[in-house]
Structures are given as C-alpha cells and as structure tokens.
Amino acid sequence: MPYGTVNADVIQTSTAGGILGAGNASIMKNRIINGAMVIDQRNAGASVTPTNGQYVLDRYFASLSQSSKYTVQQNAGSVTPPVGFTKYLGVTSSSAYSVVTGDYFLISQRIEGFNTADLAWGTANAKTVTLSFQVYSSLTGTFGGSLCNNALNRSYPFTYTISSANTWTTVSITIAGDTTGTWETNTSTGIQVNLGLGVGATYSGTAGAWAGSAYFSATGATSVVGTSGATFYITGVQLEVGSSSTGYEYVNYQTSLANCQRYYEVLVYDTNGQAAMSAPFSTVADSRFQWLFKVQKRANPSYSVVSGSWGGNTPSAYFSVSHIQFVTNGTYFFLTGSGGSTAIGASAEL
C-alpha cells in the first residue's frame, strides 16, 4: 500500500467500504426522522390529548377512531431513558376503553417516497428492511403494528413481545419487502409505520405476511387504551435496509431539526417588527413582508396560528388564502391591523 493512503474497504467508512443506506452505513441508514424523539416543535414537552391526525412530537401523528382515550408527551412519566437516549415519546391511557371492531388507536410516521425509493418495493427487486426500537410499558404481552403504503391497500402487520413491565426492551422486526402493490417514490408517502395502541378486528390482520388491506396492527395484540393509566414509551426508532438491526444512527441536533422543518416550521414575528431573515417592517396598519423558511418545504404549506396576536386580534382574523402566497422556500404575508406578536406554524406534512 503506498504511503499516505488508506484502504476504505478495511475501515468501512466510505461508499467503497459500505453500501449507501444499508448495513452499518452512516449516510441515510435510518429512514425514520426524529427516531430519538428529541424534536418537539409544536408542544415543547407539554402533554396533549390528540385529535385524529394531529401531530405530536415532530413527524409522529396520532390516528384514532375515538377521542380522548390517550395523551402523548415527550418524556411522559419522567422515567430514565435507555442508555444512549435522553428523550422518548410517551403515551398514557386516559381510561379503560374496550376497543370495538372498527376502532384504531395508533402512533404513526409517514416516510416521504423520495426517502424510500431505493427499496424498490412493488417490484421483484424489493429490499428487506428491519424496524427496531426501544420500548417500555406498564403492560406485558404481545403488541402490534404495521407498515402500509400510501393508498393503504398494502400492509404488513407485525408483532413483538414485552416480557417485563416498566423495563426498556429492545425490539427488532425484519420484513421482506413487498413485491406487489404501488409504493410511491415522490413527495407523497412512501411507507407509513404504525404502532398499535389498541386496534379492532377490521384493521387487524395476520402477523408476518403482506396483505391487500388496510391493517394497522396484528390480530390479538395488546390494547394500551384498554387499561386506565397504562403507559407506552418508545424511542430509538429505526427503519433500515437489511435482515438484521444495527446500531442506532445518531444525527446531530441541528440535522434532526432541519429534517423535521422540511415538514413543519414555526415562524415567529416579534413585537419589534422583525421577521426572521427579512428586513424590518412597520408596525403600522397593513404591513407586508416576506418570510424565508429555514428549510425548503416538501410542498407549499398550510398554516395555523400557534400563539400571539396582531393589532389586538388573533392573526387568524387576518390571514386568508387571498392574503398569503405560499411557496416551498418562503412565504409572503399581508397583515391588516397594526402591532403585535405572533407565531405561525407552516405545515407541509404528508
């Protein structure tokens, strides 16, 4: 070997030494965003009782057929996270609810198709993946979840076991890629990952096999919402190529935040008339300004008022489609009234 050169195949740290996005590769190994549960832009660690489709910690949303059956909070219960982690997503059951046939209670993440296109699902070359995570529950038994496509007409129910209550348990589930069905490879949902908290017979299927139905969990799985005060905590979620799980892919906080901001970002306008990355504008009536996003969005976002007021009124009184032009890299606002401080959530979620 010539002096001053290094054999990448020996040290396994370049594309010559490892396949990109597979095995122990350090680039795009984990297709899950915010798997370590460190980003919580919407709630900043506060407990929420989600509505159907509401996002909780960044990139995770609650899917539920009945309201007010569980709460979600970053580090709920304040237990010690597993080694290597500081945060987890915590679910607490609000009552002892008996799940009926058409019920479903889930925590899910939709993965953008651009980030799963290389898996070649829906073809003869579909790659095997492994889903892994750390889980902690006050309940024991067989739990369930699934992977689904965007149309929810292909799904793979799976099970895993929690043998010891209130103990962090490592879970690893290997799934052969689907060779049929339609799996998106664009800005829509490529794969939806579901973790069941109680799912009725309509949306539960046989574990370990692909099905042409919308199954969110496996038949016979434990219902978290069935026990009042039951807890379900999870962190270190990873979906990677290969037939076995490898070490969790840690990313720095800045990268994790930016990955989340592709789908959701909070825009803060302060009382001094300053808009982020924009020139100051007047606090007099009928102000107009441009806001550049920190990260280009997946699509033109929708908005919601997070907090604050404008001219003594809530900003929602002034924002309408005719007043706002959205683009993927920025937003143009026109506000009627004067003065105020507000935070606006720009959402381009899947």
- Across 243-258, b (16+ Cβ under 10 Å) vs e yields eebbebbebeeeebbb
* 236 Rama sector, left if φ>0, alpha if ψ -120 to 50, beta otherwise: left
- Residue type present at position 6: V
Residue 328's pLDDT is 73
Gap between the Cα atoms of 146 and 132, Å rounded: 13
Are residues 213 and 304 located together in one domain of the fold?
no
Residue 334's pLDDT is 55
Are residues 110 and 234 located together in one domain of the fold?
yes
pLDDT digits (tens, 9 = 90+) for 38-96: 999 999 999 999 999 999 999 999 999 999 999 999 999 999 999 999 999 999 999 99
Of the candidates 26, 16, 9, the one whose C-alpha atom is nearest the C-alpha of residue 246 is 26
Instruction: Provide φ and ψ at 288, rounded to 5°.
Output: -130, 135
Domain count, the chain: 2
Are residues 72 and 61 located together in one domain of the fold?
yes
Q: Burial of 206 by CB count in 10 Å (0-12 exposed, 13-18 middle, 19+ buried)?
A: exposed
Are residues 243 and 276 located together in one domain of the fold?
no
Are residues 123 and 139 located together in one domain of the fold?
yes
Residue 305's pLDDT is 73
324 contacts 302 by C-beta, under 8 angstroms: no
User: Listing from the earlier edge strand, what are the strands of the sheet with 264-269?
Assistant: 264-269, 340-347, 302-310
Gap between the Cα atoms of 223 and 200, Å rounded: 9
Are residues 187 and 60 located together in one domain of the fold?
yes
For residue 87, give the CATH number of its domain: 2.60.120.260
112 contacts 97 by C-beta, under 8 angstroms: no
Are residues 41 and 149 located together in one domain of the fold?
yes
Tokens describing residue 240: 């990677």
Full domain range(s) for residue 37 = 31-259
What is the full per-residue pLDDT of the chain (350 aa) written as tens digits? 444 443 333 333 333 434 444 445 557 899 999 999 999 999 999 999 999 999 999 999 999 999 999 999 999 999 999 999 999 999 999 999 999 999 999 999 999 999 999 999 999 999 999 999 999 999 999 999 999 999 999 999 999 999 999 999 999 999 999 999 999 999 999 999 999 999 999 999 999 999 999 999 999 999 999 999 999 999 999 999 999 999 999 999 999 999 999 999 987 765 444 443 333 334 445 555 567 788 999 988 887 777 765 555 555 554 544 445 556 777 765 555 555 556 778 899 99
Tokens describing residue 230: 């039951």
Tokens describing residue 44: 């900043």
Are residues 61 and 73 located together in one domain of the fold?
yes
Gap between the Cα atoms of 339 and 285, Å rounded: 8
Residue 310's pLDDT is 54
